[in-house]
């Protein structure tokens, strides 16, 4: 009689909003059919006192949760934690999150990548110091320095001149705005899987309009600059998002591999824009931990395969490389 294969338990600790969007019946049932049980972690009780999970999937922060993960890991040395709190915290600062991009060494005959010019401003005095601005030219995007997923961290604006700085509250990051055709590419990374999708973004700001623009605008107001259409929807409909060419899959996969190894993370996405001045120049503008995967095509299959890969590695006692984000990258065959 064949030996019954043991089931693989993934405990998840997520805030209600993330849990509702990610832990869908379609994912739970597909995972279950392959021997993967997704089990909700009881946050009212210590993690170490609960059933021994093979893997802990989380998006929680704070010293107490970090301590619980350390205690759990001490009791369960073969368990995989997705991902390390220390690695995740690097993405909470918009300067440190992009520093890693500059360290990547990726060769391509036809394409280049980098980040927009940017500076960090910690106080009002520096904000109005013209010398601090020698690296940048207007317009600039103002983003909160802290990127912790809160509503506050998503409040961004486009600033056209020094007068527009008055509304800003340091600490902030000022990033040079680059026209990119109104399209942003979101590259999802799930372990070895890489998927690039297109989304609408801030429309281009014509050069002839810049001379007459003053102050600042929130992102929701920016589309009025580029079009006389009565709504964003009409503007983007005319833009033909579906006609926009995706970046080369192999190039995005190489970048994803480099980021994954450098950040020591398995679950993240990064936002990329194509500089319209150079058709083969790509700029990484943001990196997010554990993004909204349910927006990714066929996310249930992608995540289930990822959990199966972890299960196979644990059963084969090859845990360290995955847990540290150092696995060899590969693009899913249908990701192109």
What is the predicted pLDDT for the residue at 32?
97
Query: Over the stretch 44-67, which tens digit does the pLDDT of each residue have?
Result: 999 988 988 999 999 999 999 999
What is the predicted pLDDT for the residue at 336?
34
Name the pTM for this structure: 0.87
Q: Residue positions in the annotated binding site for 1D-myo-inositol 1,3,4-trisphosphate?
A: 18, 59, 154, 186, 288, 292
Cβ count near 160 (within 10 Å) = 22
Alpha carbons 143 and 92: distance in angstroms, whole number: 12
Q: Residue positions in the annotated binding site for Mg(2+)?
A: 271, 286, 288
Q: Residue positions in the annotated binding site for ATP?
A: 94, 143, 175-186, 201
Does residue 274 or residue 225 have the better pLDDT? Answer: 274
Q: Among the listed ranges 91-105, 107-121, 211-225, which one has the minimum average pLDDT value?
A: 211-225
What mean pLDDT value characterizes the chain? Answer: 86
Average pLDDT on 174-178 reads 94
Average pLDDT on 92-100 reads 92
Q: Is the dihedral of CA 269, 52, 38, 307 positive or negative?
A: positive
Alpha carbons 190 and 309: distance in angstroms, whole number: 11
Peptide bond into 139 cis (omega under 30): yes
Question: Of all helices (H) and strands (E), which one includes residue 8?
Answer: strand 8-13
Tokens of 191: 């372990």
Q: In percent, how much of the chain has pLDDT > 70?
A: 85
Percent of residues in the chain assigned helix, strand, coil, to nearest 5: 40, 25, 40
Query: Over the stretch 134-173, which tens digit does the pLDDT of each residue have?
Result: 788 889 999 999 988 777 888 889 998 888 888 899 999 9
Q: Residue positions in the annotated binding site?
A: 18, 59, 94, 143, 154, 175-186, 201, 271, 286, 288, 292
Question: Of all helices (H) and strands (E), which one includes residue 285?
Answer: strand 281-289
Query: Over the stretch 278-316, which tens digit does the pLDDT of each residue have?
Result: 989 999 999 999 999 999 989 999 999 999 999 998 877
């Amino acid at each position: 009689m064949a030996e019954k294969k043991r089931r693989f338990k993934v405990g998840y600790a997520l805030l209600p909003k993330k849990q509702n969007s990610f832990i869908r019946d379609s994912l739970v049932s597909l995972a279950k059919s392959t021997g993967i049980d997704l089990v909700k972690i009881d946050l009212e009780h210590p993690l170490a006192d609960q059933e021994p999970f093979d893997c802990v999937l989380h998006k929680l922060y704070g010293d107490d949760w970090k301590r619980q993960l350390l205690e759990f890991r001490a009791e369960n040395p073969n368990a995989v934690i997705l991902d390390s709190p220390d690695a995740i915290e690097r993405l909470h600062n918009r300067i440190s999150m992009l520093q890693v991009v500059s360290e990547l060494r990726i060769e391509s005959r036809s394409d280049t990548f980098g980040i927009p010019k940017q500076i960090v401003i910690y106080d009002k005095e520096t904000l109005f110091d013209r010398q601090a601005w020698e690296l940048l030219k207007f317009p600039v995007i103002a983003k909160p320095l802290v990127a912790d997923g809160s509503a506050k961290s998503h409040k961004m604006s486009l600033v056209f001149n020094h007068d527009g700085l008055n509304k800003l509250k340091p600490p902030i990051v000022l990033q040079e705005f680059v026209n990119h055709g109104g399209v942003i590419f979101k590259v999802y990374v799930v372990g070895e899987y890489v998927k690039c999708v297109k989304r609408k973004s801030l429309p281009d700001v014509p050069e002839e309009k810049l001379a007459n623009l003053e102050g600042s605008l929130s992102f929701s107001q920016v589309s009025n600059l580029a079009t006389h259409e009565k709504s964003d929807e009409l503007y983007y409909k005319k833009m033909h998002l579906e006609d926009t060419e995706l970046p080369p899959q192999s190039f995005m996969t190489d970048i994803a591999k480099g980021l994954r190894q450098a950040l020591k993370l398995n679950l993240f996405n990064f936002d990329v824009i194509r500089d319209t001045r150079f058709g083969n120049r790509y700029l990484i503008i943001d990196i997010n931990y554990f993004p909204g995967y349910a927006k990714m095509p066929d996310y249930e299959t992608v995540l289930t395969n990822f959990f199966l890969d972890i299960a196979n590695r644990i059963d084969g006692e090859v845990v360290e490389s995955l847990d540290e984000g150092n696995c060899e990258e590969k693009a899913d065959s249908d990701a192109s």
